Amino acid sequence: MRSIYLAIVALALLAIVFPAVLAASDPTLTLTFIAPDKTALANAPIKVFDSNGNLVTNATTDASGKATVSVSTTGLYNILAAGSGYYILTVLNVAASSTTATIDASAMYKVDILSTLKSVDVKVSRGETPNAKIGLTTNTSLYTDAGKTITLEFPSQVSAFPYVYKLNKIVYDSTTTTNNTVTIAVNANAVVTAYYEKVLILQVLPTWVLIVFAAVIIIAVGVLAFAPRMAKKVILSIMEEDREFVKRKRFVKGREDEE
């Protein structure tokens, strides 16, 4: 009788716990991507980032533009898809164990992200998840949802020896700024251009570094100029020692012959 009672209790516990375990499984996202020309975004790599910008997972769309991924918990996620010469960025609120969404770039606005003289790495974030700074390379286009804001953070300078590319200004929506970060409201297609100027790396080094560099060059030139004379003296000294050694050798041999 006791064993029957225990079996009934165990079954009751399973009935309570098993649904909770199922509910606690990782949420699944079923995503369909549509390209700007309204065709399926086929064979495109996608990345999923959490609200802090950590890469959670990635996948590749199939021929119909679909991809299924899993995330660890509910919350806001940045979805980035890479097309040919452009990116698609949206933010999804995952609030259930299963989420289905269609991400249609043809219904989004395009932001051209450009830089002069050199392509640079830029960090992009949406207003809903400001800590999720996603890295892209300039001279590309970004499609994102209408009515949202995006922040672009450009590097202040990029080194490519013997030059340094320094940020001069950023121009967008008839606005010019010398800050390296801009935030724009995506209410229409837009163009953001970062203007860089190329200077020799010596022109941007601190004064004390230039002084040390010059001193090293002067010392090196002095050593090179002194080295041949020093080498000649060493060679002559060795030759003189050899002659003295030969003389002593002959003197000793002559004494031995006399004896």
pLDDT in tens, the chain (259 residues): 555 554 454 445 445 544 444 445 789 999 999 999 999 999 999 999 999 999 999 999 999 999 999 999 999 999 999 999 999 999 999 998 889 999 999 999 999 999 999 999 999 999 999 999 999 999 999 999 999 999 999 999 999 999 999 999 999 988 999 999 999 999 999 999 999 999 998 765 555 454 665 677 778 666 677 667 776 777 777 777 767 766 676 665 666 666 6
Q: Which fold has domain 108-204?
A: Immunoglobulin-like (2.60.40)
Q: For residue 164, what pLDDT is reported?
A: 96
Return the pLDDT at 258.
62
- What are the residues whose beta carbons fall under 8 Å from the beta carbon of 132, sequence distance 6 or more? 49, 50, 51, 52, 53, 78, 125, 126
| 29 token code pair | 């996202």
Domains 1-106 and 108-204 are alike in CATH topology = yes
Q: CA-CA distance, 32 to 99, in Å (whole number)?
A: 11
Pairing type for strands 109-115 and 190-200 reads: parallel
* Residue among 196, 121, 117, 198 at smallest CA distance from 154: 121
| CATH class of the domain comprising 1-106 | mainly beta
Helix (H) or strand (E) holding 36: none
Show me where the domains of the chain are located: 1-106, 108-204, 205-259
Distance CA 234, CA 243 (A): 14
Q: What is the pLDDT of residue 66?
A: 98
Q: Looking at residue 210, what is its pLDDT?
A: 44
